[in-house]
Structure 1
Amino acid sequence: MSVEVANETEWQLDPKVFSELGLWVMHQMRVSTQSELTITFVDPEPIAELHERWMDLQGPTDVMSFPMDELRPGDERNEPEGMLGDIVICPWVAQQQAQAAGHSTMEEMMLLTIHGVLHLLGYDHHTREQERQMFGLQRQLLLTFFALHHGTAWSATLPSGSVNELEVYERKYGTNRELGH
Protein backbone atom coordinates (compact mmCIF):
# COMPACT_ATOMS: atom_id res chain seq x y z
CA MET A 1 0.00 0.00 0.00
CA SER A 2 1.48 3.31 -0.90
CA VAL A 3 0.36 6.87 -0.40
CA GLU A 4 2.15 9.54 -2.37
CA VAL A 5 1.81 13.11 -1.18
CA ALA A 6 2.64 16.14 -3.32
CA ASN A 7 2.52 19.72 -2.10
CA GLU A 8 2.24 22.25 -4.92
CA THR A 9 1.58 25.18 -2.58
CA GLU A 10 3.59 27.45 -0.29
CA TRP A 11 2.08 25.76 2.74
CA GLN A 12 4.64 24.06 4.93
CA LEU A 13 3.25 20.71 5.94
CA ASP A 14 4.72 17.31 6.66
CA PRO A 15 3.75 14.90 3.87
CA LYS A 16 4.48 11.96 6.19
CA VAL A 17 1.47 12.89 8.33
CA PHE A 18 -0.88 12.66 5.35
CA SER A 19 0.78 9.52 4.04
CA GLU A 20 0.43 7.87 7.44
CA LEU A 21 -3.18 9.04 7.77
CA GLY A 22 -4.05 7.78 4.28
CA LEU A 23 -2.46 4.38 4.97
CA TRP A 24 -4.19 4.11 8.32
CA VAL A 25 -7.63 4.94 6.88
CA MET A 26 -7.12 2.48 4.03
CA HIS A 27 -6.17 -0.19 6.57
CA GLN A 28 -9.21 0.62 8.73
CA MET A 29 -11.45 0.34 5.67
CA ARG A 30 -9.80 -3.00 4.79
CA VAL A 31 -8.34 -1.92 1.48
CA SER A 32 -5.56 -4.21 0.25
CA THR A 33 -1.95 -3.44 1.06
CA GLN A 34 -1.35 -3.48 -2.70
CA SER A 35 -3.55 -0.41 -3.27
CA GLU A 36 -2.27 3.06 -4.09
CA LEU A 37 -3.44 6.56 -3.22
CA THR A 38 -2.19 10.01 -4.22
CA ILE A 39 -2.86 13.17 -2.20
CA THR A 40 -2.02 16.52 -3.79
CA PHE A 41 -2.23 19.95 -2.17
CA VAL A 42 -2.92 22.76 -4.64
CA ASP A 43 -3.69 26.47 -4.75
CA PRO A 44 -7.20 27.84 -5.41
CA GLU A 45 -6.86 28.30 -9.17
CA PRO A 46 -5.94 24.69 -10.05
CA ILE A 47 -8.68 23.23 -7.84
CA ALA A 48 -11.19 25.74 -9.26
CA GLU A 49 -10.31 24.51 -12.75
CA LEU A 50 -10.82 20.89 -11.67
CA HIS A 51 -14.04 21.83 -9.89
CA GLU A 52 -15.49 23.42 -13.00
CA ARG A 53 -14.24 20.74 -15.38
CA TRP A 54 -15.43 17.72 -13.39
CA MET A 55 -18.33 19.05 -11.29
CA ASP A 56 -19.48 21.97 -13.44
CA LEU A 57 -19.29 24.15 -10.32
CA GLN A 58 -17.48 27.47 -10.15
CA GLY A 59 -14.71 28.48 -7.81
CA PRO A 60 -12.27 26.64 -5.60
CA THR A 61 -13.48 23.91 -3.28
CA ASP A 62 -11.90 22.17 -0.31
CA VAL A 63 -11.35 18.64 -1.61
CA MET A 64 -11.96 16.61 -4.74
CA SER A 65 -11.63 12.87 -5.18
CA PHE A 66 -10.91 11.01 -8.39
CA PRO A 67 -11.45 7.25 -8.07
CA MET A 68 -9.48 4.96 -10.33
CA ASP A 69 -10.43 1.31 -9.85
CA GLU A 70 -13.66 2.04 -7.94
CA LEU A 71 -12.59 0.00 -4.92
CA ARG A 72 -15.00 -0.53 -2.04
CA PRO A 73 -14.31 -1.27 1.63
CA GLY A 74 -13.35 -4.86 2.26
CA ASP A 75 -14.19 -7.30 5.00
CA GLU A 76 -12.48 -10.15 6.87
CA ARG A 77 -12.39 -12.35 3.76
CA ASN A 78 -11.95 -9.83 0.96
CA GLU A 79 -9.64 -6.84 0.73
CA PRO A 80 -9.92 -5.17 -2.68
CA GLU A 81 -6.70 -4.10 -4.33
CA GLY A 82 -5.81 -1.69 -7.08
CA MET A 83 -5.39 2.02 -7.60
CA LEU A 84 -7.68 3.71 -5.09
CA GLY A 85 -7.33 7.11 -6.75
CA ASP A 86 -6.35 10.72 -6.26
CA ILE A 87 -7.36 13.30 -3.69
CA VAL A 88 -6.79 17.01 -4.33
CA ILE A 89 -6.96 19.39 -1.35
CA CYS A 90 -6.83 23.19 -1.29
CA PRO A 91 -5.21 24.38 1.97
CA TRP A 92 -6.52 27.90 1.41
CA VAL A 93 -10.14 26.76 1.44
CA ALA A 94 -9.33 24.39 4.31
CA GLN A 95 -7.95 27.35 6.27
CA GLN A 96 -11.15 29.32 5.74
CA GLN A 97 -13.30 26.36 6.80
CA ALA A 98 -11.10 25.65 9.82
CA GLN A 99 -11.48 29.22 11.03
CA ALA A 100 -15.26 28.95 10.70
CA ALA A 101 -15.27 25.60 12.54
CA GLY A 102 -12.91 26.74 15.29
CA HIS A 103 -10.07 24.30 14.74
CA SER A 104 -6.68 24.29 13.02
CA THR A 105 -6.04 24.21 9.29
CA MET A 106 -4.07 21.01 9.82
CA GLU A 107 -7.05 19.31 11.48
CA GLU A 108 -9.27 20.45 8.62
CA MET A 109 -6.86 19.06 6.01
CA MET A 110 -6.68 15.77 7.89
CA LEU A 111 -10.49 15.64 7.96
CA LEU A 112 -10.56 16.40 4.23
CA THR A 113 -8.06 13.60 3.60
CA ILE A 114 -10.37 11.12 5.32
CA HIS A 115 -13.36 12.62 3.52
CA GLY A 116 -11.56 12.15 0.21
CA VAL A 117 -10.65 8.52 0.93
CA LEU A 118 -14.25 7.75 1.85
CA HIS A 119 -15.43 9.28 -1.44
CA LEU A 120 -12.90 7.09 -3.27
CA LEU A 121 -14.42 4.08 -1.53
CA GLY A 122 -17.91 4.95 -2.75
CA TYR A 123 -19.26 6.91 0.20
CA ASP A 124 -21.29 10.00 -0.59
CA HIS A 125 -23.52 12.56 1.10
CA HIS A 126 -26.32 13.30 -1.34
CA THR A 127 -29.05 12.27 1.09
CA ARG A 128 -29.37 12.97 4.80
CA GLU A 129 -28.82 9.30 5.61
CA GLN A 130 -25.70 9.12 3.43
CA GLU A 131 -24.41 12.32 5.02
CA ARG A 132 -25.07 10.99 8.53
CA GLN A 133 -23.25 7.76 7.74
CA MET A 134 -20.28 9.30 5.91
CA PHE A 135 -19.73 12.24 8.26
CA GLY A 136 -20.11 10.00 11.30
CA LEU A 137 -17.53 7.57 9.93
CA GLN A 138 -15.06 10.32 9.00
CA ARG A 139 -15.41 11.85 12.47
CA GLN A 140 -14.88 8.46 14.12
CA LEU A 141 -11.81 7.78 11.99
CA LEU A 142 -10.32 11.22 12.66
CA LEU A 143 -10.89 11.08 16.42
CA THR A 144 -9.47 7.55 16.61
CA PHE A 145 -6.39 8.62 14.64
CA PHE A 146 -5.94 11.58 17.00
CA ALA A 147 -6.32 9.30 20.03
CA LEU A 148 -3.69 6.92 18.67
CA HIS A 149 -1.32 9.86 18.21
CA HIS A 150 -2.12 11.64 21.47
CA GLY A 151 0.39 14.38 22.19
CA THR A 152 1.63 14.64 18.60
CA ALA A 153 1.87 18.22 17.39
CA TRP A 154 1.03 18.59 13.72
CA SER A 155 1.02 21.90 11.93
CA ALA A 156 0.50 23.47 8.56
CA THR A 157 1.95 26.94 8.21
CA LEU A 158 2.75 29.54 5.62
CA PRO A 159 6.12 31.19 5.23
CA SER A 160 6.23 34.73 6.56
CA GLY A 161 4.99 37.23 4.01
CA SER A 162 3.08 34.68 1.91
CA VAL A 163 0.33 35.99 -0.30
CA ASN A 164 -3.15 34.66 0.47
CA GLU A 165 -3.85 32.79 -2.76
CA LEU A 166 -7.58 32.52 -2.02
CA GLU A 167 -7.83 36.31 -1.76
CA VAL A 168 -5.86 36.63 -5.01
CA TYR A 169 -8.26 34.22 -6.70
CA GLU A 170 -11.31 36.05 -5.37
CA ARG A 171 -9.97 39.44 -6.50
CA LYS A 172 -9.37 38.01 -9.95
CA TYR A 173 -12.58 35.97 -10.38
CA GLY A 174 -14.92 37.18 -7.63
CA THR A 175 -16.15 35.45 -4.52
CA ASN A 176 -18.90 33.52 -6.24
CA ARG A 177 -18.13 29.91 -5.29
CA GLU A 178 -20.30 26.85 -5.48
CA LEU A 179 -19.21 24.40 -2.83
CA GLY A 180 -20.05 20.80 -3.34
CA HIS A 181 -17.92 17.74 -3.72
Structure 2
Amino acid sequence: MSVDVTNETQWVIDPKVFSDLGIWVLDQMRVSTQSDLTIMFVDPDPIAELHMRWMNLEGPTDVMSFPMDELRPGDGKTVMEGVLGDIVICPWVAAQQAAAAGHSTMQEMLLLTIHGILHLLGYDHVTPEQERQMFGLQRQLLLTFFALRHDANVQATLPAGTPDALALYDAAHGAGRDLDSK
Protein backbone atom coordinates (compact mmCIF):
# COMPACT_ATOMS: atom_id res chain seq x y z
CA MET A 1 0.00 0.00 0.00
CA SER A 2 1.34 3.37 -0.94
CA VAL A 3 0.27 6.65 0.61
CA ASP A 4 2.14 9.63 -0.80
CA VAL A 5 1.94 12.90 1.13
CA THR A 6 2.84 16.21 -0.50
CA ASN A 7 2.91 19.54 1.30
CA GLU A 8 2.78 22.59 -0.98
CA THR A 9 2.22 25.02 1.90
CA GLN A 10 4.42 26.73 4.46
CA TRP A 11 2.82 24.67 7.21
CA VAL A 12 5.21 22.29 8.94
CA ILE A 13 3.39 18.98 8.65
CA ASP A 14 4.82 15.55 9.46
CA PRO A 15 4.01 13.49 6.35
CA LYS A 16 4.64 10.20 8.17
CA VAL A 17 1.68 10.74 10.50
CA PHE A 18 -0.64 11.23 7.52
CA SER A 19 0.87 8.35 5.59
CA ASP A 20 0.49 6.09 8.62
CA LEU A 21 -3.09 7.26 9.11
CA GLY A 22 -3.92 6.58 5.46
CA ILE A 23 -2.43 3.10 5.58
CA TRP A 24 -4.19 2.34 8.86
CA VAL A 25 -7.61 3.56 7.66
CA LEU A 26 -7.31 1.65 4.39
CA ASP A 27 -6.41 -1.46 6.37
CA GLN A 28 -9.39 -0.95 8.69
CA MET A 29 -11.64 -0.56 5.64
CA ARG A 30 -10.14 -3.73 4.11
CA VAL A 31 -8.76 -2.02 1.04
CA SER A 32 -6.02 -3.98 -0.73
CA THR A 33 -2.41 -3.47 0.22
CA GLN A 34 -1.86 -2.95 -3.52
CA SER A 35 -3.87 0.30 -3.49
CA ASP A 36 -2.43 3.80 -3.77
CA LEU A 37 -3.52 7.07 -2.19
CA THR A 38 -2.20 10.61 -2.47
CA ILE A 39 -2.72 13.28 0.19
CA MET A 40 -1.83 16.83 -0.79
CA PHE A 41 -1.78 19.94 1.39
CA VAL A 42 -2.33 23.17 -0.52
CA ASP A 43 -2.91 26.87 0.09
CA PRO A 44 -6.29 28.61 -0.29
CA ASP A 45 -5.87 29.67 -3.94
CA PRO A 46 -5.27 26.18 -5.40
CA ILE A 47 -8.10 24.57 -3.44
CA ALA A 48 -10.42 27.46 -4.34
CA GLU A 49 -9.64 26.81 -8.01
CA LEU A 50 -10.40 23.10 -7.58
CA HIS A 51 -13.56 23.94 -5.63
CA MET A 52 -14.82 26.14 -8.47
CA ARG A 53 -13.75 23.78 -11.24
CA TRP A 54 -15.19 20.58 -9.80
CA MET A 55 -18.05 21.75 -7.58
CA ASN A 56 -18.85 25.16 -9.03
CA LEU A 57 -18.53 26.66 -5.55
CA GLU A 58 -16.51 29.77 -4.79
CA GLY A 59 -13.74 30.03 -2.26
CA PRO A 60 -11.43 27.63 -0.50
CA THR A 61 -12.81 24.58 1.25
CA ASP A 62 -11.31 22.22 3.80
CA VAL A 63 -10.96 18.97 1.84
CA MET A 64 -11.70 17.62 -1.60
CA SER A 65 -11.52 14.02 -2.77
CA PHE A 66 -10.84 12.82 -6.28
CA PRO A 67 -11.53 9.09 -6.70
CA MET A 68 -9.69 7.17 -9.39
CA ASP A 69 -10.60 3.48 -9.60
CA GLU A 70 -13.80 3.73 -7.53
CA LEU A 71 -12.61 1.23 -4.94
CA ARG A 72 -14.99 0.28 -2.14
CA PRO A 73 -14.38 -1.14 1.33
CA GLY A 74 -13.55 -4.84 1.24
CA ASP A 75 -15.78 -7.52 2.63
CA GLY A 76 -12.97 -9.80 3.75
CA LYS A 77 -13.41 -12.05 0.71
CA THR A 78 -12.91 -9.72 -2.23
CA VAL A 79 -9.71 -7.71 -2.59
CA MET A 80 -10.07 -4.37 -4.36
CA GLU A 81 -6.81 -3.18 -5.92
CA GLY A 82 -5.97 0.01 -7.74
CA VAL A 83 -5.50 3.71 -7.26
CA LEU A 84 -7.90 4.91 -4.60
CA GLY A 85 -7.43 8.56 -5.54
CA ASP A 86 -6.29 11.93 -4.28
CA ILE A 87 -7.23 13.97 -1.23
CA VAL A 88 -6.51 17.70 -1.21
CA ILE A 89 -6.55 19.49 2.16
CA CYS A 90 -6.19 23.20 2.93
CA PRO A 91 -4.50 23.62 6.33
CA TRP A 92 -5.62 27.26 6.47
CA VAL A 93 -9.29 26.31 6.36
CA ALA A 94 -8.59 23.39 8.70
CA ALA A 95 -7.02 25.81 11.21
CA GLN A 96 -10.09 28.03 11.08
CA GLN A 97 -12.42 25.07 11.59
CA ALA A 98 -10.24 23.66 14.37
CA ALA A 99 -10.36 26.96 16.25
CA ALA A 100 -14.15 27.02 15.95
CA ALA A 101 -14.39 23.39 17.13
CA GLY A 102 -11.94 23.83 20.00
CA HIS A 103 -9.26 21.38 18.93
CA SER A 104 -5.89 21.52 17.17
CA THR A 105 -5.26 22.09 13.49
CA MET A 106 -3.50 18.72 13.37
CA GLN A 107 -6.55 16.94 14.78
CA GLU A 108 -8.73 18.69 12.20
CA MET A 109 -6.42 17.69 9.35
CA LEU A 110 -6.37 14.08 10.54
CA LEU A 111 -10.17 14.14 10.65
CA LEU A 112 -10.27 15.66 7.15
CA THR A 113 -7.92 12.95 5.90
CA ILE A 114 -10.28 10.24 7.16
CA HIS A 115 -13.24 12.18 5.76
CA GLY A 116 -11.54 12.33 2.37
CA ILE A 117 -10.68 8.62 2.40
CA LEU A 118 -14.28 7.73 3.21
CA HIS A 119 -15.45 9.86 0.27
CA LEU A 120 -12.98 8.01 -1.96
CA LEU A 121 -14.52 4.75 -0.74
CA GLY A 122 -17.99 5.88 -1.76
CA TYR A 123 -19.31 7.28 1.51
CA ASP A 124 -21.25 10.53 1.38
CA HIS A 125 -23.27 12.77 3.69
CA VAL A 126 -26.08 14.05 1.48
CA THR A 127 -28.92 12.55 3.51
CA PRO A 128 -29.21 12.57 7.31
CA GLU A 129 -28.75 8.79 7.39
CA GLN A 130 -25.63 8.96 5.21
CA GLU A 131 -24.26 11.75 7.37
CA ARG A 132 -24.89 9.79 10.56
CA GLN A 133 -23.16 6.72 9.13
CA MET A 134 -20.18 8.54 7.60
CA PHE A 135 -19.54 10.94 10.48
CA GLY A 136 -19.92 8.14 13.02
CA LEU A 137 -17.41 6.00 11.15
CA GLN A 138 -14.91 8.84 10.74
CA ARG A 139 -15.17 9.65 14.45
CA GLN A 140 -14.67 6.00 15.40
CA LEU A 141 -11.65 5.70 13.09
CA LEU A 142 -10.10 8.92 14.37
CA LEU A 143 -10.57 8.12 18.05
CA THR A 144 -9.22 4.60 17.57
CA PHE A 145 -6.20 5.95 15.70
CA PHE A 146 -5.55 8.41 18.54
CA ALA A 147 -5.87 5.63 21.10
CA LEU A 148 -3.38 3.43 19.23
CA ARG A 149 -0.85 6.12 18.37
CA HIS A 150 1.17 7.94 20.96
CA ASP A 151 2.59 10.32 18.36
CA ALA A 152 -0.78 11.28 16.88
CA ASN A 153 -0.67 14.49 18.91
CA VAL A 154 2.15 15.89 16.78
CA GLN A 155 1.20 19.42 15.83
CA ALA A 156 1.10 21.19 12.49
CA THR A 157 2.72 24.60 12.77
CA LEU A 158 3.63 27.63 10.73
CA PRO A 159 7.07 29.21 10.71
CA ALA A 160 7.13 32.51 12.61
CA GLY A 161 6.14 35.46 10.47
CA THR A 162 4.25 33.42 7.88
CA PRO A 163 1.46 35.56 6.43
CA ASP A 164 -2.09 34.29 6.85
CA ALA A 165 -2.86 32.92 3.37
CA LEU A 166 -6.58 32.62 4.13
CA ALA A 167 -6.77 36.28 5.15
CA LEU A 168 -4.84 37.20 2.00
CA TYR A 169 -7.28 35.14 -0.08
CA ASP A 170 -10.24 36.87 1.56
CA ALA A 171 -8.66 40.29 0.98
CA ALA A 172 -8.08 39.52 -2.69
CA HIS A 173 -11.38 37.76 -3.39
CA GLY A 174 -13.74 39.11 -0.76
CA ALA A 175 -14.85 37.44 2.42
CA GLY A 176 -18.09 35.59 2.86
CA ARG A 177 -16.95 32.10 1.97
CA ASP A 178 -19.45 29.43 2.91
CA LEU A 179 -17.35 26.68 4.49
CA ASP A 180 -20.35 24.42 4.96
CA SER A 181 -21.18 24.10 1.26
CA LYS A 182 -19.10 21.06 0.40
Q: Does 1:176 align with 2:165?
A: no
Name stretches of at least 5 consecutive residues in structure 1 with no aligned partner.
none
Match of 2:120 in 1: 120
Alignment of 1:154-169 (within 5 A): 154-169=154-169
Q: Does 1:49 align with 2:78?
A: no
Residue type of the alignment partner of 1:73: P
Match of 2:135 in 1: 135
> Which deviates the most, 71-80 or 38-47?
71-80
Q: CA deviation at 1:161?
A: 0.3
- Show structure 1 runs of 4+ deviating over 4 A: none
Match of 1:39 in 2: 39
RMSD over aligned Cα atoms: 0.9
TM-score, L = length of structure 1 = 0.98
TM-score, L = length of structure 2 = 0.97
Alignment of 1:1-181 (within 5 A): 1-150=1-150, 152-179=152-179, 180-181=181-182
Does the 8 Å contact 1:65/1:87 carry over to 2? Answer: yes
Residue type of the alignment partner of 1:161: G
Q: State percent identity of aligned pairs.
A: 72
Deviations 1:74-104 (A, max 9, x none): 0110121100000000000000000000000
> Which deviates the most, 48-57 or 151-160?
151-160
Name stretches of at least 5 consecutive residues in structure 2 with no aligned partner.
none
Q: CA deviation at 1:152?
A: 4.8
Q: Identify if the C-alpha distance between structure 1 residues 152 and 17 changes in structure 2 by more than 3 Å, giving closer, same or farther.
A: closer
CA–CA separation in structure 2 for the residues paired with 1:81 and 1:151 = 29
Residue type of the alignment partner of 2:79: E
Provide the secondary structure at the position in 1 that maps to 2:59.
Answer: coil
